[in-house]
Structure 1
Amino acid sequence: MSETRKPGSARSSARSLRSAAPGLLAALLLAAGLTACSQGAGGGAAAATCDPTPYDAAISAYAGGGVLAKGPYGETSPDWTSIALSDDEIAKVRAMGATAAVVMHFSGDSWSNAQVAGIRSELDKLGIRIVAQTDAQADPAKQFSDVETALAAGPDVMLSIPSLDPTALAPAFRKAADQDVKLVFLENPAKDFRPGTDYVSVVATDNYGAGVINAHQMARSLCGSGAVGVIRHAAQAPTNVLRAQGFTETLTAEYPAITVAEDKGLLGPDWKGEGSSTVNAWLTKHPDLAGVWCWFDAPCEGAIDAARSSGRAGLAVTTVDLGNNVAIDMARREYVTGIAAAQPYQQGVVEARLAAYGLLGKQAPPFVALPALPVDADNLLDSWTTVYQADPPADLTTAMGPG
């Protein structure tokens, strides 16, 4: 992976990325005569005559350019593969007999399952025993209590994602820091926590970059024009905000003929049900709605259900995170036309290693971001293997059909 760029914000980083491709994008669009490209009968999928070349070029520009993300205090991420431990360091950690707590915001989805699997696998290699693992079920108050419950088990390290409410959860994590528990945060830190003092490091997806990928994928699906709906998380944590910003800011800058007709934040925990009811209402209000974007896959499962029940076969769906159900839909070439896949398993591995950094007193980078991976039907099975470090499930390979 190339080194991260140096601009001071995610937005300026996006401009740096576009500087490699906007001239190419404009030239190819003009040459292909796409300014008046028609849409399919369903109102969402682009006509078969739409040339995907300029959109694919924009996606490739991201894939070849490194992460766009900056840390919570403007930090530049190193290459995630540089986070490593020597054999001697591993032996020292194993000799400590250390323990860990894993405090999740919610569980059961593909991203969370893979994240925890990566953490567990690497902690096991390091001889760090998990003494508490919790699932807050998308409830900030429960996660606050979960942190306190986990602390009662006396862990040496805690790995947690405080994205439900970084401000409200901060006092709970302050108790952990005050007890000298080594904190590694997933995606974003608790409010006003500082690296090197309050926590070891933050490990995140390139969330802004994931939104950028989805914008180009949506534009390819719509041939550069149409009305879309945006489903985001109502909680204003950096992960959620950056994904939505990457998507909407790229549409505004690169695809002015694509408009955001609706924008709604959801709070969960019934992500699929809330996504379905939201999109059902949109399809009634906007008969010409061409696409829907979701900040992660579960709400888009609901969007697919709404489109199917409404007979809207042409609705284009793009999302972050390679969940099994959206992957199967993509394999069947029904609604999901593009996915920006996080790398949760590898994030978990990096997080566990950084927990070991904390135990050793080893200098850790304050922020590490892993690039999002552009996924389409052509690279879906290979992407699954990369993301989850496992073979694709049987139902996914069956959905792909012979090939």
Structure 2
Amino acid sequence: MRIKALAAIALAAMVINATGCAQNGDSGKTESGQSAAEQTVKEDNSTGNTQSSGEEDQILTKGPHGEQGVNADTITLSDEQKNAIKEGKFKVALCMHYGGNDWATAQINAIKDTCAELNMEVVAVTDANFSAEKQVSDIETVMALKPDAIISIPTDITATADAYKRAIDSGIKVVFMDNAMKDMEGGKDYVSCVSADSYGNGVAAARLLGEKLNGKGKVGMVYYDADFFVTNQRDAGFRDTLKKEFPDIEIVAEQGFTDENGCNEQADAILTQFPDIDGIYASWDIPMEGILSSVRAAGKEGKIALVAIDLGNNIALEIAKGTVVGVGAQMPYDQGVAETKLAALSLIGESTPAYVVCPAMKVDKENVLDAYKAVYHVDAPSWLLEADK
């Protein structure tokens, strides 16, 4: 088989990004011997829903199959569970859709850190560079390493489905990031799907833009033109919130993209057609970098309100400088921690929720330093502190 041949070649050539994992630290809050699902039900019953008290902790996104999102903060490990996980000395592999951005780096760091705390070995980290064919090969490759669990974000839920099914059928526990196969069920076929509150992040971006424009104006959207669940949710949250809460703001232009690094072209098209546009939204931070470049070239920096999703380093800097209004921020480090805990719980026979969500965070110049620490679990770097003065 061609796939098996590719897998053999890749296994020989791949540089395994492995972590020797010591038994140190605490991976979460201590609870008394309950499964994650039981703890979640307890939380749900005590509050009436899966939302925390603050508005930003509310879960607005439904799962890929319409599941109610469970707050990632409820996924905890008891001391007994931690000990069982450590004694298992489990192996984990990461199969990323793309590893070249700040979101992916934070996820990988969180998974490695949490694995280290739980005496789990990370045996491989792969990067498909948005290629479904490459990801299929990556999955076949890491299967040869016999991991107990794979944590992965699918590049294409149709093209990669068979590869994930082979991994699951071989006994490997699979935790999905952000998206899951249409014909698979969380808690049965795969362990769980963990995502940001993508719809909620779109809501946050719309509110930032609406407030900046005082509820009136004409705006454009630069969106990811693909059937990709999380970005579709973000864009829907943005559109719906403008329509509902800011009816005097009109979306006059929508430009789709498939290459995140070329979005100056989409921005140029919007600026050419609507030179007096008041604001532009982007589906995530890297496309916004291209939009900002185009806005600057047109001499309109500071005159057009810009919002996006994701607090990447470059966009955090622009928010601090005041050139970007703000973003709806994902919590990639927290997401990676939750994914690892869910994989570990499944490996000791515990039941887990089918869909787990990290709440959205609204970020602007007022809270960018605190937001940076919340998103990445490190203090704001000196360059961000300097820009925020």
Aligned mate of 1:373, from 336, 361, 379: 361
Task: Determine whether 1:207 maps to 2:198.
Answer: yes
Aligned position for 1:353: 341
Using the alignment, how far apart are the partners of 1:172 and 1:369 within structure 2?
25
Say which SS state the counterpart of residue 129 (structure 2) adopts: coil
Using the alignment, how far apart are the partners of 2:280 and 2:143 within structure 1?
41
Using the alignment, how far apart are the partners of 2:286 and 2:126 within structure 1?
20
Deviation at 1:72, TM superposition (A): 2.3
More displaced 10-residue stretch of structure 1: 248-257 or 357-366: 248-257
Task: Determine whether 1:186 maps to 2:177.
Answer: yes
Using the alignment, how far apart are the partners of 1:79 and 1:330 within structure 2?
27
Using the alignment, how far apart are the partners of 1:248 and 1:61 within structure 2?
23
Alignment of 1:144-293 (within 5 A): 144-162=136-154, 164-268=155-259, 271-272=260-261, 274-293=262-281
Say which SS state the counterpart of residue 325 (structure 2) adopts: strand
Matched positions, count? 344
Alignment of 1:26-175 (within 5 A): 62-63=55-56, 66-162=58-154, 164-175=155-166
Say which SS state the counterpart of residue 365 (structure 1) adopts: coil
Using the alignment, how far apart are the partners of 2:182 and 2:93 within structure 1?
20
Say which SS state the counterpart of residue 167 (structure 1) adopts: coil
Using the alignment, how far apart are the partners of 1:253 and 1:195 within structure 2?
32
Say which SS state the counterpart of residue 180 (structure 2) adopts: coil
Using the alignment, how far apart are the partners of 2:54 and 2:83 within structure 1?
41
Using the alignment, how far apart are the partners of 2:174 and 2:157 within structure 1?
14
TM-score, length of structure 2 as denominator length? 0.84
Query: For 1:8-66, what per-residue CA distance to the aligned partner results, in whole angstroms no more than 9, with x for missing partners?
Result: xxxxx9xxxxxxxxxxxxxxxxxxxxxxxxxxxxxxxxxxxxxxxxxxxxxx98426x1
Using the alignment, how far apart are the partners of 1:5 and 1:70 within structure 2?
17
| 8 Å Cα contact 2:221/2:255 also seen in 1 | yes
Using the alignment, how far apart are the partners of 2:246 and 2:322 within structure 1?
24
Say which SS state the counterpart of residue 289 (structure 1) adopts: coil
Deviation at 1:5, TM superposition (A): 7.7
Using the alignment, how far apart are the partners of 2:182 and 2:228 within structure 1?
10
Instruction: Tell me which amino acid in the other structure corresponds to 1:165.
Output: D
Say which SS state the counterpart of residue 159 (structure 1) adopts: strand
Using the alignment, how far apart are the partners of 1:330 and 1:151 within structure 2?
42
Alignment of 1:334-345 (within 5 A): 334=323, 336-345=324-333
Runs of 5+ consecutive residues of structure 2 not aligned to the other structure: 1-39
| 8 Å Cα contact 2:256/2:266 also seen in 1 | no
Deviation at 1:190, TM superposition (A): 2.1
Deviation at 1:188, TM superposition (A): 1.4
- Percent identity over the alignment is 37
| 8 Å Cα contact 1:5/1:68 also seen in 2 | no
Relative to structure 1, the CA distance from residue 122 to residue 229 in structure 2 (aligned partners, 3 Å threshold; closer, same or farther) is same
| 8 Å Cα contact 1:280/1:306 also seen in 2 | yes
Using the alignment, how far apart are the partners of 2:223 and 2:73 within structure 1?
30
Using the alignment, how far apart are the partners of 1:174 and 1:303 within structure 2?
39
| 8 Å Cα contact 2:257/2:266 also seen in 1 | no
| 8 Å Cα contact 1:62/1:213 also seen in 2 | no
Deviation at 1:193, TM superposition (A): 1.3
Deviation at 1:94, TM superposition (A): 1.5
Relative to structure 1, the CA distance from residue 391 to residue 61 in structure 2 (aligned partners, 3 Å threshold; closer, same or farther) is closer
Query: For 1:219-238, what per-residue CA distance to the aligned partner results, in whole angstroms no more than 9, with x for missing partners?
Result: 11212122212122222121
| 8 Å Cα contact 2:279/2:305 also seen in 1 | yes
Runs of 5+ consecutive residues of structure 1 not aligned to the other structure: 8-12, 14-59
Using the alignment, how far apart are the partners of 2:334 and 2:54 within structure 1?
23
